[in-house]
Chains A and B, each alone.
Chain A
Amino acid sequence: MTRAVLLRALTKNKFVASNIPRSLSVTNLSRCISTLILAEHESGSIKAQTVSTVVAAGSLGESSTISLLLAGSGSSLHEAAAQAASCHPSVSEVLVADSDKFEYPLAEPWAKLVDFVRQRGEYSHILASSSSFGKNILPRVAALLDVSPITDVVKILGSNEFIRPIYAGNALCTVRYTGSGPCMLTIRSTSFPVTPISADSQSKKATISQIDLSKFKEDSVSRSRYVGQSTQDTERPDLGSARVVITGGRALKSVENFKMIEKLAEKLGGAVGATRAAVDAGYVPNDLQVGQTGKIVAPELYMAFGVSGAIQHLAGIKDSKVIVAVNKDADAPIFQVADYGLVGDLFEVIPELLEKLPEKK
């Protein structure tokens, strides 16, 4: 009897004893959340996805510091850095790596750079947005650090617990990072919308510091080279962050007919998207593809014309606020996710919409 009591007391004591340092270390941890974000910038300004990543980083823990890492060369890098310093009040520091090596986003030197910067400061988290840029570089960095990264985080539950979609968004997986190295994430930007920043906090500027690259060792001969890029110039808003997205499917039948979609997008001030079938048929370039293998969008209004609603496409639009579907086939799966469905011929519906919709802009 006494022995049992003693034992219980002992184990209880032990429990308490082991619990104290643990709870201490937990508060310690949350106190030292220090995030490094690999920022994306273009022609002198920081990309919207990077600002979303900052928003995500802010929800990792209460008192955290956020450092933005910008690499590149020339004046546009410094313009972008100046903008980055005031892009969001929670950014505490902007680190600038200015070198010809980073003129183009090649994974090899950039991954080495992130590792190099990590060695200078203690970072508990390393983040990038889930863009083609982030997905190309971050896993490479993670392997250099012997860390398992987490792709496409849509929700942050704590400093090391996250939710990410799997099976094309047909299931949500809650994961916990248990490793000892920095926790590495790519962030789905549409899940972390940027709220407008009040004028007085906008004046808050983060410090900008240059990274001393004299000790940065890259392989003597670079084994990958940038050759060129073909970008589609459009005046329409970016597909990934547009408020309105108008998408066409194979039923549009031709490049000419797809112009109707473009006109409608213009009228609503929205972006144009396409299904894989429409891209494969050559109606539009592939960077307009919406879906699991293309862009993930989450606009306020998503309108789909002649889109059947394949699983892989639905994975890319699920988080849209309002989904409208127009399709001849009343049984098309898209109607199962649409808030408003219209069974009809898009060649009649689109002109009517063009005529009757109120002018935006």
Chain B
Amino acid sequence: MSHHRLIVRSQEKRKCFCFVLPYSFSFCHRTMKILVAVKRVVDYAVKIRVKPDKTGVDTQNVKMSMNPFCEIALEEALRIKEAGFAKEVVAVSIGPSQCVDTLRTGLAMGADRGIHVEANSSFLPLTIAKILRSLAEVENPGLIFLGKQAIDDDCNQTGQMVAALLGWPQATFASKVVLDNDKHVATVDREVDGGLETLSVDLPAVITTDLRLNQPRYATLPNIMKAKSKPIKKMTLEDLKVDIKSDIEIVEVTEPPKRKSGVIVSSVDELIDKLKNEAHVV
């Protein structure tokens, strides 16, 4: 009897929820969540060394930091939140346990919480995109921000792939993002060959950021302290049920051929002479 009542009540509740849904959707901007993917990479200022066995690049005892394009993506999400267009900014990082440091940096910049998908091998962008799709299905963000490329693998693929997997529109290489929440639309200036292109995309959408989008903030000491108490949820690949695709094999990693050392000339005349008679380019 009591069981029966309970079931009825829960059914009623579910019905109720259905009515609530369109209502909450129309006020989506107040509750919009932004997901930002951040990657831990070798710091951009480090001169990398190729391993002697040609299996890759030495990342042991090398300074690591947040990929610069990801910093820009996070900064943009934070600005959107500060302008009142979003409620929450969630930073996600996929990789080994040290990714938590990258997430803490993100939390110190102002992200509300972090998700760390623990993985001890490195994945191809397609697998990363599948992980992000699974997370998007759970978190239901209105926007996903990513950097346009990671400065280690230089792939420039993940954002486009997440958009494809979710069936969402994409705006890549963004240098300006303007949100119109009443219409659920983002107007994005994109850096394309030969100038700028402006697109408008319906939300939810995926945006990847170019360097000129903004100047990321530095985390202040109080914010770094505050970040320590912000939540980071740990997840595994099993939680997200993602199949790992490895259809590309790294055969070897080598150093690029060195350029022949050049000469310092002492005058413009000598330079012109060399260009004319030695290099034959003018």
B279 at the interface (CB under 8 A from A): yes
Known A166-B253, A174-B254; judge A108-B195 contact (CB<8 A).
no
Segment touching B, from A17-25, A199-207, A351-359:
A351-359
Q: Is the CB of B126 within 8 A of A146?
A: yes
Residues of chain A lying within 8 A (CB to CB) of residue B221: none
Asked whether, in the complex, the Cβ of B126 is within 8 Å of the Cβ of A143, the reply is yes
Instruction: Give chain A's interface residues, CB within 8 Å of chain B.
Output: 106-108, 111, 131-133, 135-144, 146-152, 161, 164-181, 219, 223-232, 240, 244, 268, 276, 279-280, 285-287, 292-293, 295, 300-301, 311-312, 318, 321-324, 330, 335, 337-343, 349, 352-353, 356-358, 360
Count of residues in B whose CB is under 8 Å from the partner chain: 81
Smallest CB separation, B253 vs chain A (Å): 5
Q: Is B263 an interface residue (CB 8 A)?
A: yes
Contact indicator B262/A144 (Cβ below 8 Å)? no
Complex: A119 Cα to B191 Cα, angstroms: 32
Report the bound CA distance from A180 to B254 in whole Å.
Answer: 27
Inter-subunit contact B256/A175 (CB<8 Å): no
Q: A139-B157, A322-B275 are in contact. Are A174 and B250 (CB under 8 A)?
A: yes
The stretch among B9-17, B96-104, B110-118, B264-272 that forms the contact with chain A is B264-272
Q: Which residues of B contact A (CB under 8 A)?
A: 42, 44-45, 47-48, 50, 57, 124-126, 129, 151-158, 160-165, 167-173, 175, 187, 190-202, 205, 210-212, 245-256, 259-260, 262-269, 271-272, 274-276, 279, 281-282
Query: Given A224-B201, A324-B275, are A177 and B247 also a contact pair (CB < 8 Å)?
Result: yes
For B245, the chain A residues whose CB sits under 8 A away are 146, 148, 179
Residue numbers in A under 8 Å from B198 (CB-CB): 226-229
9 A-B pairs with CB atoms under 8 Å apart are A141-B164, A172-B254, A175-B251, A224-B205, A340-B262, A340-B274, A342-B271, A352-B268, A358-B276
A175 touches B250 (CB 8 A): yes
Using A148-B124, A224-B202, A228-B197 as known contacts, list a sample of 16 further A-B pairs with CB atoms less than 8 Å apart, ordered by residue number in A.
Answer: A132-B173, A133-B193, A141-B164, A148-B126, A167-B152, A172-B256, A225-B201, A229-B196, A232-B194, A232-B195, A285-B195, A292-B151, A322-B275, A335-B262, A340-B275, A342-B271
In the complex, what's the smallest C-beta–C-beta distance from B58 to chain A, in angstroms? 10
Contact A227 B200 (CB under 8 A): yes
Residues of A within 8 A of B162 (CB): 143
**Complex: how many Å from CA A186 to CA B239?**
33
Cα distance, A312 to B43, chains bound together (Å) = 12
Residue of B nearest to A150 (CB): B248
B194 contacts across to A, CB distance below 8 A? 231-232, 287
CB distance from A346 to the nearest CB of B (A): 11
Residues of A within 8 A of B279 (CB): 301, 321-322, 339-340
Also in contact, A287 and B191, with CB within 8 A (given A144-B164, A335-B264): yes
User: What residue of chain B has the Cβ atom nearest to residue A141's Cβ?
Assistant: B164
Query: Which residues in B have their C-beta under 8 angstroms from that of A171?
Result: 48, 50, 57, 253-256
Most buried by B among A132, A161, A358: A132
What are the 6 closest A-B residue pairs judged by CB atoms, nearest first? A179-B247, A143-B164, A143-B161, A139-B160, A224-B169, A139-B157
Which residues of A lie under 8 Å from residue B272 when comparing CB positions? 353, 356-357
Q: How far is A146 from B269 in the complex, measured between Cα atoms in Å? A: 58
A148 touching B247 in the complex, CB below 8 Å, given contacts A174-B252, A240-B193, A301-B281: yes
Query: Closest A-chain residue to B258, C-beta based?
Result: A337
Counted as pairs of residues, one from A and one from B, with CB atoms less than 8 Å apart, the total is 250
Which residues of chain A are within 8 angstroms of B187 by Cβ–Cβ distance?
A: 227
- List, in ascending order, chain A residues with CB within 8 A of B265's CB: 340-342
Q: Which residues of B contact A338 (CB under 8 A)?
A: 262
* Chain B positions within 8 Å of A141 at CB level: 164
- Bound-state Cα–Cα, A229 to B211, Å: 19
Q: Which of A280, A292, A318, A323 contacts B212 (CB 8 A)?
A: A280
Instruction: Please tell me which one of the listed residues A135, A152, A268, A352 contacts residue B282 in the complex, with CB atoms under 8 A apart.
Output: A268
Nearest-neighbour CB distance to chain B for A335, whole angstroms, equals 7
Cβ contact within 8 Å between A151 and B155: yes
The residue in chain B whose Cβ has the minimal distance to the Cβ of A154 is: B256
Q: Known contacts A147-B247, A311-B47, A342-B265: does B152 contact A108 (CB below 8 Å)? A: no
Chain B nearest CB: distance from A258 CB in Å?
18
B170 touches A108 (CB 8 A): yes
B160 interface neighbour in A107, A148, A352, Cβ under 8 Å: A107
Q: Given A135-B172, A171-B253, A280-B212, answer yes or no on A230-B269 (Cβ-Cβ < 8 Å).
A: no
| Contact A230 B195, beta carbon cutoff 8 Å | yes
Min CB–CB distance A186 → chain B (angstroms):
8
A269 CB to nearest B CB, Å: 10
Smallest CB gap from A301: residue in B: B281
The minimal Cβ–Cβ distance linking A280 to chain B, given in whole angstroms, is 7
The CA-CA distance from A229 to B196 in the complex, in Å, is 6
A36 to B211, CA, bound (A): 32
Chain A neighbourhood of B126, CB < 8 A: 142-143, 146-148
Chain B residues closer than 8 Å to A150, beta-carbon distance: 248
Known contacts being A136-B160, A324-B275, A352-B268, is A107 close to B170, with CB within 8 Å? yes
